[in-house]
Each structure stands twice: as C-alpha cells, then as structure tokens.
C-alpha cells in the first residue's frame, strides 16, 4: 500500500473516531442533564405535595381539637385526596407517617375537647406532624 494512501486513511479514521467521540460525549451530557432536570422536577412536585398535606392536616387537626365530631365529612376530603397523591409519589415510609397523621386527626375528633378558657397541657401528642416532616425531609435528601 502506498504510504500516501496509508497516511490519508489514518487521517480519515482519526477524524471519524474524533467525531464519534464528540457525538458520544454530547449524547451522554444531554442524557445526564435530562435526568437531572427530571429529578429536580420530581423533587419539587414532592415538596409541594408535602407542604399541601401539612397545611391540610394542620387545618383538620385544629378543627378536630375544637369540634365534638365530624360535622361535615367534606372537610376531610381534601386531606384524603392529598393522601392519595402521596401514595402515588412518596416513599412507603412517608406514606406510613402520613397515614398515622390521618388516623390521629380522625381520633382527635372523638376525644375530649380542650377548654379554650384555660391553658391546656402542651405535650408531644399535639405535634402530630413531627414524624411526617422528618420522613419528608429524609426523602427529599435521598432524591
């Protein structure tokens, strides 16, 4: 084989390899960026969902503390709907903590009520969202 032809083939193969390496690098970079965008979006969705659950559970718990029963079941429907969303997007541990919160809210409707004229004993049983918040924070860090 002619040395000039050999040099031309070597240059051609070198260019082809360089182009393929460049394409592969661009593809891997794009794929990595898309994965990061997806994870950020998923994390933001979970964060909004966790905040929504905390807001709704807090309102329902306050109502349960002062009312003697569930007068309007429709007040719990948004909380149950948010619970369903959590089952779709949250981890099993976070869902378990949310179910505990839901149970505590419903139980509170049927417990003796606070006398709002005197200072109630403040204890851990009033902090029904603590474990849920811990699990949410852990889940958001994992992602």
Average pLDDT over residues 56-84: 89
pTM above threshold 0.95: no
Answer positive or negative: Cα dihedral of 73, 76, 124, 89: positive
pLDDT confidence bin for 122, thresholds 50/70/90: low
Contact 140, 47 (CB under 8 A): yes
| pLDDT tens digits, one per residue of 94-119 | 999 999 999 999 998 888 876 667 76
**pLDDT at residue 12, as a whole number:** 81
Question: What are the distances in angstroms from CA 77 to CA 20, 74, 103, 120, 127?
Answer: 56, 5, 14, 29, 22
């Amino acid at each position: 084989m002619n040395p000039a032809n050999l040099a031309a083939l070597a240059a051609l193969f070198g260019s082809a390899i360089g182009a393929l390496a460049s394409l592969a690098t661009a593809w891997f970079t794009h794929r990595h960026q898309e994965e990061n965008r997806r994870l950020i979006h998923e994390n933001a969705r979970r964060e909004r969902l966790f905040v929504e659950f905390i807001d709704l559970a807090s309102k329902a718990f306050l109502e349960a503390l002062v009312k003697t029963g569930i007068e309007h079941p429709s007040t719990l429907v948004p909380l149950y709907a948010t619970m369903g969303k959590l089952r779709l997007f949250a981890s099993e541990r976070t869902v378990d903590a949310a179910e505990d919160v839901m149970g505590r809210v419903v139980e509170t409707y049927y417990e003796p009520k606070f006398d709002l004229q005197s200072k109630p004993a403040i204890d851990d049983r009033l902090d029904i969202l603590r474990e849920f918040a811990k699990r949410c924070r852990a889940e958001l860090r994992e992602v």
